[in-house]
Structure 1
Amino acid sequence: MTAFLVSFGIIFLAELGDKSQLVAMAFAARYRALPVLIGLTAATAVVHLISVFLGAGLGAAIPTRWVTLLAGLAFLGFAAWTWRGDDLDEGDIDRLDRSAKSAVLAASIAFFLAELGDKTMLATVTLATREGLFGTWAGSTLGMVAADALAIVVGTQLGKRLPERVIRIGAGALFALFGVLLAVQAFAYG
């Protein structure tokens, strides 16, 4: 249960202001919400399953102290990445328009590609080095789906009222806090 809760919370926060959340908003503007949600859920489940197995392999191969230190450094990197922000460029929007044959298929493909190498994928890999595999997979998948569903349902309204910069700074600060705590924990193993 701990793996689920930690993964859900971290990935939910990581997804706030992320590129795939912007993709969710763009798809929601073009298609009905349910097919978009189904497509992003399928893609997220697959990407995070891959991430969990990558993380489990790394966790088994590297001593705990170094895994914890690397996780801390990774979260500090995620903080910097979050503070920098993500944007959809014209090419991203054009690809969304060209793949409009099926909302579920288009959303699945777009989300799968958007998540490969993304900070939420890397955060899931990092979490899986230390937490239970199923809990990490379920928590990270549902955390991301919840954040993207939020983008679909209320993202437009929040975007009008809450500056993106505030969301980025808050999520980045939480990543930095997790990074520092993990780095301190790594030296406590010593």
Structure 2
Amino acid sequence: MDIILASTLLVALAEIGDKTMLLAIVLACRFRAPTPIILGIFAATIVNHALAALAGSTVAGLLDSFGFRLAVALGFLAMAAWTLVPDKLDEEEDGAKPARYGVFLTTAIAFFMAEMGDKTQIATIALGARYHDVGLVALGTTLGMMIANVPAVFLGDRITRIVPLRWMRIAAATIFAILGILAIRELVG
């Protein structure tokens, strides 16, 4: 699978119903200013995911052994299981105050912080370790985040009634599982 395509599809599907998507909906309903929200999401995601892909690629380069590659493959399988668990927005992440920082900066900070340790960030680390191409992985995962979150900003809470979140989680879990199985097959084949 092409690096950008794999990264985009994986993150776009994993993001459906994720806490950062819920955060996008909350911000859209609260501020009703789609352009700065979308730009804030983009800024936070490109920085966060570039750092995550770099971390994954760097660690993989240092630990390019059978054990590490097996850990990455098993990590994809673990992500498949984690993706099936519904996410909910933590209350403290809705506490940003736009009067002080503005909608763009509030969104960028909230998104960057919400993405820390999130399944899409961990997936980006794993993709960076798998593909060793920070730029293409960060581009693909950021594109995936935008594909999932831009409609959430424009449609607000209506998106949760349109998109069957359960099926999106199953699709994302399937992609994670396929990547894990392919990585294991590559190790033993």
TM bucket (normalised to shorter chain) is: 0.7 to 0.9
- How far the C-alpha of 1:11 sits from its partner, in A, is 1.5
Matched-pair contact (CA < 8 Å) for 1:9–1:143: yes
C-alpha spacing 1:186/1:134, structure 2 compared with 1 (3 Å): same
Q: What is the alpha-carbon distance in structure 1 between the residues aligned to residue 177 and residue 156 of structure 2?
A: 24
> What secondary structure sits across from 2:84 in the alignment?
helix
Matched-pair contact (CA < 8 Å) for 1:24–1:152: yes
C-alpha spacing 1:163/1:9, structure 2 compared with 1 (3 Å): closer
**In the alignment, what sits opposite 2:127?**
127
- How far the C-alpha of 1:155 sits from its partner, in A, is 5.6
Matched-pair contact (CA < 8 Å) for 1:67–1:129: no
- How far the C-alpha of 1:145 sits from its partner, in A, is 1.7
**In the alignment, what sits opposite 2:185?**
184
Q: What is the total number of aligned residue pairs between the two structures?
A: 186
C-alpha spacing 1:36/1:133, structure 2 compared with 1 (3 Å): same
C-alpha spacing 1:27/1:177, structure 2 compared with 1 (3 Å): same
In the alignment, does 2:92 pair up with 1:91?
Answer: yes
Q: State the AA in 2 paired with 1:87.
A: K
Residue by residue over 1:134-171, the C-alpha shift from the partner in whole angstroms, topping out at 9 and shown as x without a partner, is: 11121111211221112223463332144433332332
**In the alignment, what sits opposite 1:109?**
109
* 104-113 vs 77-86, which moves further: 77-86
Unaligned runs of 5+ in 2: none
C-alpha spacing 1:177/1:44, structure 2 compared with 1 (3 Å): same
Q: CA RMSD in A?
A: 2.1
Matched-pair contact (CA < 8 Å) for 2:10–2:172: no
**In the alignment, what sits opposite 2:48?**
47
C-alpha spacing 1:80/1:99, structure 2 compared with 1 (3 Å): farther
1:12-161 correspondence to structure 2 within 5 Å: 12-31=12-31, 32-63=33-64, 65-93=66-94, 95-96=95-96, 98-101=97-100, 102-131=102-131, 132-154=133-155, 156-161=157-162
Q: What is the alpha-carbon distance in structure 1 between the residues aligned to residue 84 and residue 11 of structure 2?
A: 16
Q: What is the alpha-carbon distance in structure 2 between the residues aligned to residue 30 and residue 138 of structure 1?
A: 29
Matched-pair contact (CA < 8 Å) for 2:28–2:156: no
TM-score normalised per structure 2: 0.87
C-alpha spacing 1:163/1:3, structure 2 compared with 1 (3 Å): closer
Matched-pair contact (CA < 8 Å) for 1:56–1:133: yes
Matched-pair contact (CA < 8 Å) for 2:40–2:107: yes
Residue by residue over 1:96-139, the C-alpha shift from the partner in whole angstroms, topping out at 9 and shown as x without a partner, is: 4x355411010000000011111111111111123222111211
- Counting aligned pairs with the same residue, the percent is 35
TM-score normalised per structure 1: 0.87
